[in-house]
Structure 1
Amino acid sequence: MSGKALRDLNVLPVPGLERKTDGSSKGSFIKPYIENSNEIVDKCLNKVSECNLGNNGVEAGNSEVEYIDSENLTDLPDVDSSLNTLLTRLDSKDWVLICEALNNVRQLAIYHKEKLLEMLGDGIPLIVKSLKNPRSAVCKTAIMTSADIFKIYSDSVIDSSDPLLLQLLLKSSQDKRFVCEAAETALVAMTTCISPSLLLPKLLPYLKNKNPRIRAKASMCFSRSVPRLGLEGIKAYGIDKLVQVAASQLSDQLPESREAARTLALELQTIYEKSHASPSEDSADSWEAFCQAKLSPLSAQAILRVTSTSKEGLVLGC
């Protein structure tokens, strides 16, 4: 190709890059596109940086932590060494080391229950500290550790369960979904494994907590625990006390509290009617008469509205 032809090609306009204003300096139409390209690159680099950062700009390393289900945990190769350094590692500033120590607590609880029990009193405050940790990996591992403690030690940890319970109620109420779900699983383990006669008094204060989300989670735990008392246990605890709790939660702010209260009210009605040999509507021992005697007029009306509506629905369903 001749030199003239090459020169002619060099001055041909590139489609889409022409400047629409006259008098532009030679080659100046390319500059805006170079700048735009740099902006795009900067944006891409920023996105990569954001992906490598966790909350509050802290570099994420959660890929280093594996969440292991209880049934997949194996025994420790050196039990004595793990026990001797456990409290120090739980109180470490290295979050990866803390997660490892928390998983060691779970392994020791499963395979060496009695050995761990001796130091659990000192260990639980450190587990609570991990539950408060802003790093999600530490928090979730601590939640899983709490669940295993409830499953394995049940009533043995009731005296030191208050700080665990508070943190689990808080974590189950937050917006971070995977932490919330883990906390709810731990609360189910607690209500399943700890005797309701011991657990219900622990839950009562949280039903009046100023945080409505904590009240809601506590109401759900309370409602789950009551049926485990059984007929005799409910009578011993006091069905009048339980129906008062249900009535107080029926007017709560969040629907979860109200639904838990409805479930509890229906359970109590069933238990009451079983224990009073199906009284007639006019009997002094009827469910309606009982509610009116034990509750304020407004509370009795709320409970009876819930239980009568449910009964009517069952009849219509039949």
Structure 2
Amino acid sequence: MSETALRDLNTVPSSDRKTESSSKGSFTKPYVGSAIENVDVSLVSTKINGNDAMNAAVEIVNSEFEYVESENLSDVEDVDTSIKTLLVGLDSKDWVLVCEALNNVRRLSIFHKESVLNMLGDVIPLVVKSLKNPRSTVCKTAIMTSADIFNAYNDHIIDSLDPLLTQLLLKSSQDKRFVCEAAERALIAMTTWVSPVLLLPKLQLYLKNRSPRIRAKASMCFCRSVPRLGVEGIKTYGIDKLIQIAASQLSDQLPESREAARILLLELQTVFKKSHDLTPTELTPTTVSEDPEMDSWEHFCHSKLSPLSAQAVLRVTNIAREGLVIGS
């Protein structure tokens, strides 16, 4: 930059200089604007003449910010160096370094997961910190990192799951579509890779959240997790407990909650029938009832729910059953 250009640049108002200095002088650091998400903005240097100095200093070039899917990530070049610098990078004030560190967490989780296992207690809180970052690029990268952590470490993350789950439910409930969709994929990864026995009690707490959006996302996660218990697992967990949870969601504000409840109730009805529709050779004195009606789905619902809730549950499950009969 010429001396004339430097003198002209010094005439820029202090507020403008403050904005430029926040990029720490980097001409390659991407910036995601508030108007266009998922876009990079880079300052570029050009030949400066006289009054063009200020315009050149703030010239921007739009380019797409690349979010690398898990299957396309490459291995780290140096495992030891990546691990040594991981926590520092995650806690950096430079958002570009944070994103690089987050992607290194992803790479290490995929290619060298044992090397990070003992660090999860330190890594996850810093991932949560990035999930709270107002910069969408950092936030989405942290969401993608969360999904890879679920995939790699399964139940090992359960002790650190609560703040991670809170943020993912929040992000999946917001209006920024590309952040919301990424968070939903991370929640699907969570319900896929974390044991339902450990996950369901944590999800249950969010089914009574004040936010209807968070309740809806939690209901969908709960609905996805229950079938992974299997028939015996559902019976052990308690069909009566699960039917009460599902019934409470039937009258929730958002249709996502109600639909998740309907799906869950049909699953519970199927499990109930499998438990009671036994062949004669499978019957034991403890499974024989003098009154068949006492073993019916209808009686079970009325015995475990309030009259209004039982009616709502039976209406949902009977309509679904009638639809299957007509369809067949």
Q: Could you state the TM-score of these two structures normalised by the residue count of structure 2?
A: 0.78
In structure 2, the residue matched to 1:184 is: 184
Alignment of 1:132-281 (within 5 A): 132-277=132-277
Distance of 1:57 and 1:242 partners within structure 2? 43
Q: Is the 8 A contact 1:209 1:215 kept in 2?
A: yes
Q: Is the 8 A contact 2:32 2:136 kept in 1?
A: no
| 1:164 partner SS | helix
Per-residue deviation at 1:308?
0.6
Q: Is the 8 A contact 2:32 2:135 kept in 1?
A: no
Distance of 1:64 and 1:119 partners within structure 2? 33
Per-residue deviation at 1:111?
1.2
Distance of 1:138 and 1:63 partners within structure 2? 17
Please tell me whether Structure 1 or Structure 2 has the larger radius of gyration of its CA atoms.
1
Aligned: 1:283 with 2:296: no
Distance of 1:165 and 1:84 partners within structure 2? 27
Q: Deviations over 1:236-270 (max 9, x none)?
A: 00000000000000000000000000000001001
Pairs aligned (count): 267
Per-residue deviation at 1:69?
1.0
| 1:133 partner SS | coil
Distance of 2:306 and 2:241 partners within structure 1? 13
Distance of 2:182 and 2:314 partners within structure 1? 36
In structure 1, the residue matched to 2:316 is: 306
Amino acid at match of 1:253: Q
Distance change (3 Å), C-alpha of 1:219 and 1:53: closer
Alignment of 1:8-23 (within 5 A): none
Distance of 2:89 and 2:208 partners within structure 1? 37
Per-residue deviation at 1:120?
1.4
Distance of 2:120 and 2:228 partners within structure 1? 27
Per-residue deviation at 1:65?
4.3
Distance of 2:91 and 2:165 partners within structure 1? 20
Distance of 1:157 and 1:207 partners within structure 2? 21
Alignment of 1:11-50 (within 5 A): none
Q: Is the 8 A contact 2:246 2:261 kept in 1?
A: yes
Per-residue deviation at 1:182?
0.5
Per-residue deviation at 1:181?
0.6
Q: Is the 8 A contact 2:110 2:152 kept in 1?
A: yes
Distance change (3 Å), C-alpha of 1:275 and 1:127: same
| 1:252 partner SS | coil
Distance change (3 Å), C-alpha of 1:53 and 1:285: closer
Per-residue deviation at 1:96?
0.9
Alignment of 1:288-299 (within 5 A): 288-299=298-309
Q: Which runs of 5+ in 1 are unaligned?
A: 1-51
Distance of 1:66 and 1:123 partners within structure 2? 23
Q: Could you state the TM-score of these two structures normalised by the residue count of structure 1?
A: 0.80
Amino acid at match of 2:33: G
Distance of 1:171 and 1:53 partners within structure 2? 17
Q: Which runs of 4+ in 1 moved over 2 A?
A: 56-66
Q: Is the 8 A contact 1:168 1:186 kept in 2?
A: yes
| 1:253 partner SS | coil
Alignment of 1:69-88 (within 5 A): 69-88=69-88
Q: Is the 8 A contact 1:215 1:257 kept in 2?
A: yes
| 2:294 partner SS | coil
Q: Is the 8 A contact 1:292 1:300 kept in 2?
A: yes
Q: Is the 8 A contact 2:40 2:65 kept in 1?
A: no
